[in-house]
Amino acid sequence: MSLYAIGDIQGCHAEFCQLLEMIGFSARSDRLWLVGDLVNRGPGSLAVLREVKALGDAAVTVLGNHDFHLLTVAAGHARQHRRDTIAPILEAPDRDELLAWVRSWPLVVVEGDRLLVHAGLLPQWTPATALSLGREVQAALAADDHDAFLRTLYGDRPDTWRDDLEGFDRLRVIVNACTRMRFCAADGRMEFGEKRGPEHAPEGFRPWFRHETRASSGRTIVCGHWSTTELLLAPNLMMLDSGCLWGGTLTAVRLDDRRVFQVPGRLPVAPKPLA
């Protein structure tokens, strides 16, 4: 049995299927970790959801920012953007079943010495803390009044984690850290404006994974989200968004031996981000 991690699919269904064929994936004997952002921008978001759902327990997916966008648009609390490709999901006969399944995804997964999250962790969060906070969000999405949470999800404030945060402010910071963060300060303050590579860190901020005192540094963090870093493999870090959408690749890593598998993006559907 092998465990593979795959970077942001974002609706690139053909590339995802090609990658599964390349690695010889078997749902009977292998497992997948998907770093989130299964949907949006690529042409096959609905097909990706159906493909992954059919894999059952063989695939584990964490929520990414585009997956949250799907949920908020479906709930009527946000509008589709010009380049969104989620309309087929919203119009599908199995829409409600798919949306309920997406709401059930975790925000953080911890297994042994590995942790799966879409974007990253704040410097002061241990893996145990991140897992506990992620479960708070998962419980809010599973609650009967999850619509109230989705209604208040969007926003950059508060921009700093505090243990005494409560209510929707607390949940918003957790979601923003786990699904949107690139740069942060040592005290947990996040910066959301800069989306270029790590070398463009705003004054007072660093890439979240470059804080020397990061409490999660003892685990291997498997994540995606930051496409301008392309594929970044370090001793305790695997960042797997290699830019399939803009003509890069879709990447899988076999976690036991770190062997890399890649298929090229078929047609760029988004402009390449600035480096």
Name the domain count of the chain: 1
The confidence score (pLDDT) of residue 106 equals 98
CATH number for 251 = 3.60.21.10
Tens of pLDDT, residues 19-43: 999 999 999 999 999 999 999 999 9
Percent of the chain with pLDDT over 70: 99
Mean pLDDT of the chain: 96
Domain membership flag for residue 275 = no
Domain membership flag for residue 271 = no
Domain membership flag for residue 140 = yes
Q: For the whole model, what pTM was predicted?
A: 0.97
Give the separation between CA 176 and CA 191, rounded to whole angstroms. 10
Q: Is the pLDDT of residue 180 over 70?
A: yes
Domain membership flag for residue 273 = no
Domain membership flag for residue 272 = no
Give the separation between CA 132 and CA 67, rounded to whole angstroms. 21
| Pairing between β-strand 109-111 and β-strand 59-61 as defined by DSSP bridges | unpaired
Domain membership flag for residue 195 = yes
Q: Is the pLDDT of residue 275 over 50?
A: no
Cβ(117)–Cβ(130) below 8 Å = yes
Residue 114 main-chain phi, psi, to 5 deg: -120, 150
Over range 128-148, report the average pLDDT: 97
The confidence score (pLDDT) of residue 274 equals 61
Q: Is the pLDDT of residue 75 over 90?
A: yes
Domain of residue 175 covers: 3-264
Tens of pLDDT, residues 196-255: 999 999 999 999 999 999 999 999 999 999 999 989 999 999 999 999 988 899 999 999
Domain membership flag for residue 137 = yes
Residue written as token pair 């480096």: 275
Give the separation between CA 61 and CA 269, rounded to whole angstroms. 23
**Rg, the chain, Cα only:** 17
The confidence score (pLDDT) of residue 236 equals 95
Q: What is the largest CA-CA distance in the chain?
A: 49
Domain membership flag for residue 236 = yes
Give the separation between CA 74 and CA 53, rounded to whole angstroms. 19
Which parts of 43-104 are beta strand (E)? 59-61
- Which tokens is 192 given? 């959301």
Over range 173-192, report the average pLDDT: 97
